[in-house]
Structure 1
Amino acid sequence: MSRKAIRNMTLLLAAAFIVAVSIYNIERMADHSKSIQQIPQPQESQSPNVAVVEVAAATHQAYVEGVGSVEARFDLALNSRVSGQVKTVLDDFESGRLVTSGSLLATLEDSEFRASLESARETLANARVSYLEEQQELQQAQQEWTSSGLTGEPTSSLVLREPQLAAAEAALESARKAVAAAEENLDSTQVKAPFDAIVVSRDIAPGSYIQAGNEIGHLLSADMVEISIPLSASNWSILADEAEFLSGDYSVELRQTETGESWTGDVARVEKNLNVNTRQRSLIVKIEDPLSQETPLYPGTFLKARIPGRAVEGLWRLPASALSQRGEIWIVTEDNLLQAHDANTRFSDPEYIYVVPPDGYREAHVLVQPLSSYSEGMKVVPQRELTNE
């Protein structure tokens, strides 16, 4: 083979090699491009679905809730007016018994008081005689002065016995009062209930000796109970005025939270001073004949009160769950972004809170149940769950 042929053959093989390498590289680049196209692109994070309530400012009937303890109108430590030995104690004078006004509870030994009364009556009788005698003496002195022919007035009032008569009259009046005091002391040996009452305790026994002023028992009046409900200044701002409270037609719902039993009371009065510790003012609610209610109401019972107030304009009514643990409500903007606002709650009930709308809002979509994981500016997908109707 000639030299020229060998050179041509070499060039041809080199060209074939270059073409093969080029084809191989092109195929590898095509495969790499396909593999790049097949790599999954990162997906955008999905916005969470949130339940919202559509609200608009409206007028709502206000209610204020408070708590208080049932107290008897009269809480009496019954004391003895006189000293003496206890003679009898009646069966009704025991804790838990209900006694009527004037009913006998106990008696004291009364022999000394009877003797004192008889002595006072004797003194009264003597004073009456002395007074009558002085009247007779005065009349006789006047007649003697007239018959004497003397003119003018006597030099001394003693001549006509006027001071003597005045002294006799004063002694008579004193004797009357002494009899009245002796009768009252004798009556006090019979210890009676001063009003319809519940007996809380008895502190005497037959044979015991008591001094005047000693406590002999503890009574609570049974005709009426009162519940003092402390309220803050913000509570008072949405309640009726005092005249409406005392109109006689203002009822308050009362409930015992433990049992669910309920009663209806009327406003008795409004206190006009603030408690120095709580800085609150109390509304006093009364219930008459508490032990005659369908469910008897006993002193000491702890109650929750629901007091109707005024109609308040411009409030949102939101589910109670719309209030976050931080005391905020969350609004979904027109751009579906979350905004948190401090809740200005005017009042509430078991199902709803009534709040003043944030500045710049009259209508809005509010989260039904905000989660701690939510943050301001988060994009969400609002889903209307319920309405404010």
Structure 2
Amino acid sequence: MTRKKQIILPIVILVIGAVIFIALSSMKKPPEEKPKVDNTPIVAVEEITVAPLTLTVDSYGVVTPKYEIELVAQVSGQIVELSDTFLRGSFVKKGQVLARIDPSDYKAALIDAQASLASATASLEEELARGKVAKEEWKRITNASPTELSLRKPQLKQEQARVKAAQASVLRAERNLERTYLRAPFDAMIESRHIGLGTFVSTGSKIGKMLGTETAQIRLPVADNQLQFLVKQGHAAQVNLSGDFAGQNHVWQANIARSEGVVDDKSRMSYLVAEVSDPYGLHAETENTPLRFGSYVNATVLGKELALAASVPRHLINKDRIAILDEESKLQFVNVEIVSEDGANVIISNGLKTGDRVIVSALDYPVDGMQLALPTSDDAVTPDTETNTDTQIASVKD
């Protein structure tokens, strides 16, 4: 009996233990399954728009008149007349009388020259008559030949010379009388006046300074390596000028008239000269904003036209390659051809097409062909910089 108890008791204990284990196991909750974590890098992209693009070169300059002169007196005398328009800032027309020097002495000189001419003309006519008489007398003489002196030819030449000298004196006196009128040589604006009513001036005295209003010009410095972006190095290129007038920004149209053809020995820049016709709008049918002399303007010179090109941020380019997201959402490096630089951007002519998605966010370890993902509404990926890829005119900075 005791032996049976020794055998049965452990078995009972094992059975009870098994039952308890099974009961406890049935009460235990199974472990929760952890969701799968997607470690695909999320990137931000911007679609590229490839379109016709015009390269430009930026410059700057100061507006100056194409023609400016110091008006000087060509005869001496006292100023007896002064035009009301002969004032600083006034506009005058070509040929307009600005002032007049006392003409009394020059009128007297003209009368004297005319009198001398009349006397010389009379002497010439008298000598012509004497020559005819001498010629008729020598016709009656048959045994000798007349000389030049006997026919009074030297005397005739002398009288003819006196007439020419008298004519020259008349022309000189008329010219001096005309010079008592101080006239504007071209359409101009008065910059300064150095005389007043009653002022005595001598030959060569400065009367005033005049700025031609027909054409304004602006010297535009351009780096030598920027000329490659202009057609014919900028000859006859169109220029957009921008500057301030009355507190507002305005734009004027100009054209490159010429290149100075030398490189400045200090700045090492080439200079293009832009011209603007009628800068003050004096001949315009409608009121235009004047482009004043002395104004500082920024200039955009239009250059070569590219059939297809795009502008992208410079920092996205690495060794002439750019990262895009292909149709399978994989990273792909594309070789591009850089035409020029546009400030913080570069101009690309080959390698991209409209609709390409350029990756604008940073990747720690980019590998060609790696799987990427676009952000969902709950994700936020900030591009490195804002990019404007739909640019039609690209500016090439110096």
The alignment's TM-score, normalised by the length of structure 1, stands at 0.69
Report whether the alignment pairs 1:197 with 2:193. Answer: no
Q: Answer whether contact 1:54 1:387 (CA < 8 A) is retained.
A: no
Report whether the alignment pairs 1:295 with 2:310. Answer: no
Report whether the alignment pairs 1:273 with 2:261. Answer: yes
Q: Answer whether contact 2:235 2:259 (CA < 8 A) is retained.
A: no
How far off is 1:182 after superposition?
A: 0.9
The one of 284, 300, 306 aligned to 2:274: 284
SS of 1:180's partner is: helix
Inter-partner Cα distance in structure 2 for 1:104 and 1:221? 16
Please name the residue that 2:396 is paired with: none
Inter-partner Cα distance in structure 2 for 1:126 and 1:347? 82
Inter-partner Cα distance in structure 1 for 2:90 and 2:297? 24
How far off is 1:105 after superposition?
A: 1.3
Please name the residue that 1:39 is paired with: none
Q: Answer whether contact 1:131 1:172 (CA < 8 A) is retained.
A: yes
Q: Answer whether contact 2:258 2:274 (CA < 8 A) is retained.
A: yes
The alpha-carbon distance between structure 1 residues 102 and 237, as it changes in their structure 2 partners (threshold 3 A), is same
Structure 2 residues not aligned, in runs of 5+? 1-38, 376-382, 391-398
How far off is 1:124 after superposition?
A: 1.0
Inter-partner Cα distance in structure 2 for 1:219 and 1:171? 42
Bigger shift: residues 70-79 or 255-264: 255-264
How far off is 1:329 after superposition?
A: 9.1
Please name the residue that 1:307 is paired with: 301
Task: Give per-residue Cα distances to partners, 1:121-161, cap 9 Å, x unaligned.
Answer: 11111111121122222222222222212465x4x422222
SS of 2:198's partner is: coil
How far off is 1:181 after superposition?
A: 1.1
- After superposition, the CA RMSD in angstroms is 4.2
Inter-partner Cα distance in structure 2 for 1:236 and 1:55? 28
How far off is 1:74 after superposition?
A: 1.5
Please name the residue that 1:259 is paired with: 248
Bigger shift: residues 205-214 or 307-316: 307-316
Q: Answer whether contact 1:254 1:265 (CA < 8 A) is retained.
A: yes
In the TM superposition, 1:1-389 aligns within 5 A as: 51-53=44-46, 60-150=53-143, 154=146, 156-241=147-232, 251-256=238-243, 259-267=248-256, 269-271=257-259, 273-277=261-265, 278-288=268-278, 290-292=280-282, 293-312=287-306, 316-318=310-312, 322-323=313-314, 331-332=322-323, 346=340, 348=342, 353-354=346-347, 388-389=389-390
Q: Answer whether contact 1:337 1:378 (CA < 8 A) is retained.
A: no
The alpha-carbon distance between structure 1 residues 336 and 217, as it changes in their structure 2 partners (threshold 3 A), is same
- Opposite residue 159 of structure 1, the aligned amino acid is S
- Opposite residue 261 of structure 1, the aligned amino acid is H
SS of 2:231's partner is: coil
The alpha-carbon distance between structure 1 residues 210 and 234, as it changes in their structure 2 partners (threshold 3 A), is same
Task: Give per-residue Cα distances to partners, 1:1-38, cap 9 Å, x unaligned.
Answer: xxxxxxxxxxxxxxxxxxxxxxxxxxxxxxxxxxxxxx
Q: Answer whether contact 1:231 1:283 (CA < 8 A) is retained.
A: no
Q: Answer whether contact 1:81 1:212 (CA < 8 A) is retained.
A: yes
Inter-partner Cα distance in structure 1 for 2:134 and 2:364? 111
Inter-partner Cα distance in structure 1 for 2:281 and 2:275? 16
Inter-partner Cα distance in structure 2 for 1:367 and 1:270? 44
The alpha-carbon distance between structure 1 residues 143 and 245, as it changes in their structure 2 partners (threshold 3 A), is same
Aligned residues: 327
Task: Give per-residue Cα distances to partners, 1:335-372, cap 9 Å, x unaligned.
Answer: 9799xx9x9662648x9642577xxx66897675x9xx
Task: Give per-residue Cα distances to partners, 1:216-265, cap 9 Å, x unaligned.
Answer: 101111222223333333333222238x955xxx6432211573211223
- Opposite residue 277 of structure 2, the aligned amino acid is I
Structure 1 vs Structure 2: percent identity of aligned residues? 24
- Opposite residue 302 of structure 1, the aligned amino acid is Y
The alignment's TM-score, normalised by the length of structure 2, stands at 0.67
Q: Answer whether contact 2:64 2:294 (CA < 8 A) is retained.
A: yes
How far off is 1:375 after superposition?
A: 11
The alpha-carbon distance between structure 1 residues 105 and 229, as it changes in their structure 2 partners (threshold 3 A), is same
Task: Give per-residue Cα distances to partners, 1:138-197, cap 9 Å, x unaligned.
Answer: 222222222212465x4x422222222222212211211211111111121221212221
The alpha-carbon distance between structure 1 residues 272 and 206, as it changes in their structure 2 partners (threshold 3 A), is closer
Q: Answer whether contact 1:330 1:367 (CA < 8 A) is retained.
A: no
Inter-partner Cα distance in structure 1 for 2:204 and 2:55? 50
Inter-partner Cα distance in structure 2 for 1:311 and 1:260? 27
Task: Give per-residue Cα distances to partners, 1:82-105, cap 9 Å, x unaligned.
Answer: 111222322211101111222221
The alpha-carbon distance between structure 1 residues 298 and 59, as it changes in their structure 2 partners (threshold 3 A), is closer
